Amino acid sequence: EIVMTQSPATLSVSPGERATLSCRASQSVSSNLAWYQQKPGQAPRLLIYGAATRATGVPPRFSGSGSGTEFTLTISSLQSEDFAVYYCQQCDIWPRTFGQGTKVEIK
Amino acid sequence: QVQLQESGPGLVKPSETLSLTCTVSGDSISHYWGWIRQPPGKGLEWIGWIYYSGTTKYNPSLLSRVTLSLDSSKNKLSLKLTSVTAADTAVYYCARLGTEHSGRYLADYWGQGALVTVSS
C-alpha cells in the first residue's frame, strides 16, 4: 500500500495570502494524484486531478503541481470559503490511499 | 444534478453486519461507484468500488468482510460489512467515480455521508 504523507498538519494563513500544501508518496504515483477539500460536516469535494488539472467549477486560484512522489497544492489568495481540510489521494494503484490531511485555518 | 443519498441504521452492535444503501438520482447507474469511510475526526479510507456490470474491487484490509452490490433497476448501491467492531465506527460515503485521468476514475459526486456507530 502506498503511504501518502501531507505537511504541514495545520497551516495558519491570513485571508488574501498564499497557501502551499505538500504531499509526498512513499513510491512514485506518476501524475495519478488528486486533491480534495473537506469542510466541517460536508463530504470531500474534488479540486484537482492528474496532479494539475482543476475539476469542473474549481476557481483558478487553486493550482496543483508535481509528479512522481512530490506534489504541491497552492491556493494563490485565500478566500474565507477556502478554510478547510485538504487531502491528497493517490489513484495510481489499488488500494487508493489518502494523506492524513492538512487543515488550513485562519491566522 | 447528480445526487447520492446514503441510508441505513445509525447504530450496529459489535459482531453484527453493517448494511447501507446509496440511492442515486439525476444520473445513470452506468458508472463506477465507490464507498469511502471516515472515522470521526480522522482521515479517509477507501472501502471499495463497483462497476455497473457488477465488477468489484475491495480494499485488502476489508476484503474478508465487505460486499458491494447494486440494483440497476432501482438505481441503488449497497454496502455490507460483517463482524463489525468499534473500529468500524465512521461516516460512510458513497461516491460516483466519474472524472477520469489516465484510465483512473475519481470521486466527483459524493453523498452527504451516513454516520454508523458500532456499540452495544
Range A72-80 average pLDDT: 96
* Chain A touched by B51 (CB under 8 Å): no
Q: Is B104 on the interface with A (CB under 8 A)?
A: yes
A20-32 pLDDT tens trace: 999 999 999 999 9
The three cell numbers of residue B98 are: 466519474
CB B74 within 8 A of CB B52: no
Indicate if the pLDDT at residue B23 is higher than 90: yes
Q: Which of the 8 DSSP states describes residue B15?
A: T
- Arithmetic mean of pLDDT, B65-81: 96
Residue A9 class from Cβ within 10 Å (0-12 exposed, 13-18 middle, 19+ buried)?
Answer: exposed
Is B93 strand, coil or helix? strand
Reduced DSSP (H G I as helix, E B as strand, rest coil) percent helix, strand, coil of chain B, to 5: 0, 55, 40
Distance from CA of B55 to the nearest CA of A (A): 15
User: Collapsing DSSP states into helix, strand and coil, what is residue B88?
Assistant: helix
Using a CB-CB cut-off of 8 Å, the residues of chain B touching A46 are 99, 106-108
A46: contact with B, CB 8 A cutoff: yes
Nearest Cα of chain A lies from the Cα of B42 at a distance, in angstroms, of 8
Specify the pLDDT at position B100. Answer: 86
Distances (CA, A) of A54 to A37, B11, B12, B44, B86: 12, 38, 39, 21, 37
Rounded mean pLDDT of B78-94? 98
Give per-residue pLDDT as tens, A33-72.
999 999 999 999 999 999 999 999 999 999 999 999 999 9
Q: How far is CA A105 from CA A17, A23, A39, B10, B34, in A?
A: 12, 18, 11, 31, 29
